[in-house]
Amino acid sequence: MSAPRKKSKDKGGDEKMPTSNLNADAISKIKSSRKNSVPSDYNNLVQELLQGNKIALSKAISLVESSRSDHHLAANEVVEACLPHSANSIRIGITGVPGVGKSTFIDAFGSLLTVLGYKVAVLAVDPSSSLSKGSILGDKTRMQNLAKDPNAFVRPSPTGKSLGGVANKTRESIVLCEAAGFNIVLIETVGVGQSEIAVHQMVDFFLLLQLPGAGDELQGIKRGIVEMADAIAINKADGDIQPLAKRAKTEYSRALHLYPPKENGWVPKVFLCSAQENTGIREIWEMIEKYVGETKKNGHFESKRKEQNRYWFLQAVEDGLKRNFHENQTIQDQMDKLLQDVMENRISPLNAAEILLTSLS
């Protein structure tokens, strides 16, 4: 693990910055708002988290997921303090339609990894859980082995509000898990919409689980998601459906050749597995190890992470702009009235948007 950057402590080290151009009032405002928003036990929380305490890790994740505006700065501080201790890990995204067996697969796969000596964290990005809490219950029962494994940490989906919100916080949660000593992070996401595009931006390896015997259209999988995959595993290749699964493997292998080659030189492969019967799981891990080895060697592992950090930063700027905008009292005061006017055709949506957007300048 990389050495601590020794940053958070001298954060008040604004003193070291050239202050001549800065407004002293503004600096003291920022400092006092920081003081107010950082919970007093924040240092303890970080210390406990760094020692691998799972309760502290859960609390820290709840803090970053919190939508309370007074939690934002505290959450940023916690993430910042954890950042130097993160990154020494393999991040794997696992996607596929509801019911394909992602949670069952993660339980089997994660258990293999802990046997091999890794510490495994599981995060779920599940937009459907806001509608029914079924998946959360499902995750708890379907990851039974991992849930009681001392070397694993399973974070069930938050009852997500906005899809983007949950996915954005996943990026921060990865850092927290890594700082707590988890060196493999598995992220479960439903392969039907935007969430896996966001998750793809956070992981080193993206695994698509498919069902035997159903085409992409039937599985609701978009072409773009197949294209993003670094490997496809046809799950439930057990019992009577084995012949069907083998046929699906041939078809997918053929189909993958039609996609343009990946920039990192990796050629995606197709596997058969049964999460339930625990077959084919080890082969998938060996392939991921090979991927990590190759991309570390050719520099793509590192460059992908850099690119993802860039994306994370830009995304944080956009999120911050939106948040500030919507939390602004002037905006809130005008919003309802303008919405009414738009709905009643008293003003065009474009004009109304213009009024709102310029009301802060």
Ligand X SMILES: Nc1nc2c(ncn2[C@@H]2O[C@H](COP(=O)(O)OP(=O)(O)OP(=O)(O)O)[C@@H](O)[C@H]2O)c(=O)[nH]1
Give residues in contact with Mg ion (CB under 5 A).
102-103
Span interacting with ligand X, options 62-70, 163-171, 230-238, 306-314, rule CB under 6 A: 230-238
114 binds, among Mg ion, ligand X, none (CB under 5 to 8 A by kind): none
Least distance to Mg ion, CB of residue 9, Å: 40
99 binds, among Mg ion, ligand X, none (CB under 5 to 8 A by kind): ligand X
Alpha helices in 116-194 (DSSP H): 134-142, 144-147, 163-179
User: By CB under 6 A, is residue 95 in contact with ligand X?
Assistant: no
**Distance in angstroms (rounded) separating the CA atoms of residues 162 and 165:** 5
158 binds, among Mg ion, ligand X, none (CB under 5 to 8 A by kind): none
**Closer of 83 and 231 to ligand X (Cβ):** 231
Least distance to ligand X, CB of residue 131, Å: 12
100 binds, among ligand X, Mg ion, none (CB under 5 to 8 A by kind): ligand X
122 binds, among Mg ion, ligand X, none (CB under 5 to 8 A by kind): none
Binders in 275-334 for ligand X, by CB under 6 A: 275-276
- Give the 3-state secondary structure of residue 260: coil
Quick note: the x/- pattern for ligand X over 50-89, rule CB under 6 A, is ----------------------------------------
Binders in 96-125 for ligand X, by CB under 6 A: 96, 98-104
235 Cβ partners below 8 Å, 6+ apart? 96, 100, 101, 104, 105, 209, 210, 211, 273, 274, 275
Q: Are 166 and 125 in contact (CB under 8 A)?
A: yes
Q: Are 192 and 170 in contact (CB under 8 A)?
A: no
Going from the C-alpha of 208 to that of each of 32, 88, 195, the distances in angstroms are 47, 24, 13
**Distance in angstroms (rounded) separating the CA atoms of residues 143 and 152:** 10
Binders in 163-192 for ligand X, by CB under 6 A: 190
Return the structure tokens found at 346. Answer: 């008293």
Q: At what angle do helices 102-115 and 281-297 cross, to 10 degrees?
A: 70
**Closer of 93 and 181 to Mg ion (Cβ):** 93
Binders in 247-276 for ligand X, by CB under 6 A: 274-276
Rg of the chain, C-alpha, whole Å: 23
328 binds, among Mg ion, ligand X, none (CB under 5 to 8 A by kind): none
**Closer of 142 and 171 to ligand X (Cβ):** 142
Count how many residues are written for the chain.
361
104 binds, among ligand X, Mg ion, none (CB under 5 to 8 A by kind): ligand X
Span interacting with ligand X, options 56-64, 95-103, 290-298, 353-361, rule CB under 6 A: 95-103
Going from the C-alpha of 300 to that of each of 1, 209, 292, the distances in angstroms are 20, 24, 9
User: By CB under 6 A, is residue 201 in contact with ligand X?
Assistant: no
Quick note: the x/- pattern for ligand X over 136-155, rule CB under 6 A, is --x---x-------------
Phi then psi for residue 186, to 5 deg, are -105, 130
**Distance in angstroms (rounded) separating the CA atoms of residues 304 and 222:** 23
**Any bridge partners for residue 120, and if so which?**
152, 184
Least distance to ligand X, CB of residue 107, Å: 8
Residues that bind ligand X (CB under 6 A): 96, 98-104, 135, 138, 142, 190, 235-236, 238, 274-276
